[in-house]
Amino acid sequence: MRLSQLFVTAACISTTFAWNTFTVAHSPGQDDTPALVQALPDLAANTSIVFKKGVTYNLFTPIKFPVLNNVEIVIEGNLTYPEDIATVQGALSWDHKLWNATETVTGIYLAYAGHQSFPGSWLTFSGGNNVTLRGSTDPQWGWIDGHGQAWWDAARGTSGLANRPHGIAFSKITNGVIRDMKLWKPVAWNFATSGSSNLHVFNNRIHAVSNSDAFPFNTDGFSAGGQNMLFEKNVVQNGDDCLTVGNGAKNIVFRDSYCQGGHGLSIGSLGKGGQIADVQNVMIENVVMVSTLYGARFKSWTGGNGLARNITWKNIAFHDVPFPIYVTQNYWDQNTGPMPNSTNLNNTHIQDFLFENFVGDIKDTPYVEGSCVTDPCWYSVPNATGKEVAILDLYPGTASNIRAEDIFARTQSGASVAVMCDPKTVDSDVGFKCWDGTFIRTPGGL
- Measured CA to CA, the distance from residue 72 to residue 355 in angstroms comes to 38
Closest CA to 144 of 82, 71, 214, 225: 82
- Measured CA to CA, the distance from residue 284 to residue 270 in angstroms comes to 18
- For residue 269, whether the previous peptide bond is cis, meaning omega lies within 30 degrees of 0, is yes
Closest CA to 402 of 367, 432, 361, 365: 432
DSSP count for the chain of H helices, then E strands: 4, 30
Contact 260, 284 (CB under 8 A): no
What DSSP character marks residue 367?
A: -
Tally of CB atoms within 10 A around 298: 29
Residue 37, Ramachandran bin (φ over 0: left; ψ between -120 and 50: alpha; else beta): alpha
355: CB partners within 8 A, 6+ apart:
296, 312, 313, 316, 325, 390, 403, 404, 405, 407, 431
Active site residue 263: yes
- Measured CA to CA, the distance from residue 308 to residue 267 in angstroms comes to 9
- Measured CA to CA, the distance from residue 171 to residue 182 in angstroms comes to 19
- Measured CA to CA, the distance from residue 347 to residue 276 in angstroms comes to 10
- Measured CA to CA, the distance from residue 338 to residue 213 in angstroms comes to 26
Q: Evaluate the CA torsion angle 407, 412, 414, 419 in order and state its sign.
A: negative
Give the amino acid at 287: V
The single residue of 207, 263, 319, 349 carrying the catalytic annotation is: 263
Contact 231, 254 (CB under 8 A): yes
Tally of CB atoms within 10 A around 335: 10
**CA distance from start to end of the chain:** 23
19: CB partners within 8 A, 6+ apart:
46, 47, 48
- Measured CA to CA, the distance from residue 9 to residue 5 in angstroms comes to 13
Give the amino acid at 278: D
Active site residues: 263
